[in-house]
Amino acid sequence: MGRMEDALKKASEDRERVRTVEGAAPPSKASSGAPSTAGGQLAGASVGALFSDRLDERLVMVTEPLSARAEEFRRLKANLVALSPCPRILTVAAPTDGDGAHIIAANLAIALAESRNGKVLIVDGDFRRGEIARLLAVTAAHGLSELVMNSEGRAKSVPVASFVPNLDVLVAGSIGLDATRQIRPGILKEILQRIAADYAACVVVVPAIDGFADARVLAADTDGVVLVSRIGGSDRQALKRAYDALLGARARVLGTVAFGD
């Protein structure tokens, strides 16, 4: 229980910090000039301008790259990179649907990609929703589900480049329950050993931990889990159940992140 109490306390502290950030003055609009670098970070101004009509506004790492909210994702990245051992393959998960795991995962992947320490892969392990392709404006007919099912689309299930430099996407693939029924311990690790070996980091998003057993199995196949808590939305008991379920699956819980619209 001690670790869970620490995590919940951290979530509460994060909520207060995010509220402070949310009350800050709105960031200035990014210019549409060529991308530039500052302190080793990619300024995504021109990327955001070119793709603003397709992007979810909550992808602040691109739509508001100079904002305080974007800086929070860079801080999260720095905290994760500083861990020992440093997790190369991360899971981002939430207790229930709608708690923001897909948004956090996409922003974190962009933050990792902008450091230019190697290419980053984001993997959509949520076969029920397949949100990552929409968020990052990529199109691919085949993805992780075909690899899990060893189906005819397996040969075509390859990561595709996104508009974000150094960031590739492995989409969920066929949406439905067929792939979820074939999830077993070790399967994601086997797949990522083949397709993610050349990536410096990999971010995997999974369905709701409190609702779906396959989410816990996938999470346990990675180096660690970032558990997302929605400000004013996530139920404390659901967060506790998700935390306990991850520990029960022998997943490494790295910490919690508070998320607000």
- More confidently predicted of 130 and 93: 93
Question: Model confidence at 53, in pLDDT bands (50, 70, 90)?
Answer: low
Q: Which helix (H) or strand (E) holds 255?
A: strand 253-259
pTM for the complete prediction? 0.79
Per the structure block, which two tokens stand in for 60?
A: 């602040």
Q: What is the pLDDT of residue 150?
A: 83
Q: Which domains does the chain have, with CATH numbers?
A: 2-22+41-259 (3.40.50.300)
pLDDT cut 90: percent of the chain above it: 52
Contact 119, 195 (CB under 8 A): no
| pLDDT at residue 6 tops 60 | no
As a whole number of angstroms, the distance between CA 22 and CA 28 comes to 15
- More confidently predicted of 201 and 15: 201
pLDDT digits (tens, 9 = 90+) for 135-146: 999 988 889 999
- State the average pLDDT over residues 15-22: 38
- More confidently predicted of 56 and 219: 219
Q: What is the pLDDT of residue 103?
A: 93
Q: Which of 6-20, 90-104, 119-133, 163-177 has the lowest mean pLDDT?
A: 6-20
pLDDT digits (tens, 9 = 90+) for 170-198: 999 887 777 888 899 999 999 999 899 89
What distances in angstroms separate CA 132 from CA 2, 123, 155, 255, one per listed residue? 34, 8, 21, 22
Question: Model confidence at 20, in pLDDT bands (50, 70, 90)?
Answer: very low
pLDDT cut 70: percent of the chain above it: 77
Q: Which of 128, 83, 130, 86 is nearest to 105 (CA)?
A: 130
| pLDDT at residue 11 tops 60 | no
SS3 42: strand
pLDDT digits (tens, 9 = 90+) for 199-244: 999 999 999 998 899 999 999 999 999 999 887 766 788 889 999 9
Q: What is the pLDDT of residue 234?
A: 61
Q: Which of 1-5, 120-124, 178-182 has the lowest mean pLDDT?
A: 1-5
- What is the 8-class DSSP label of residue 30? P
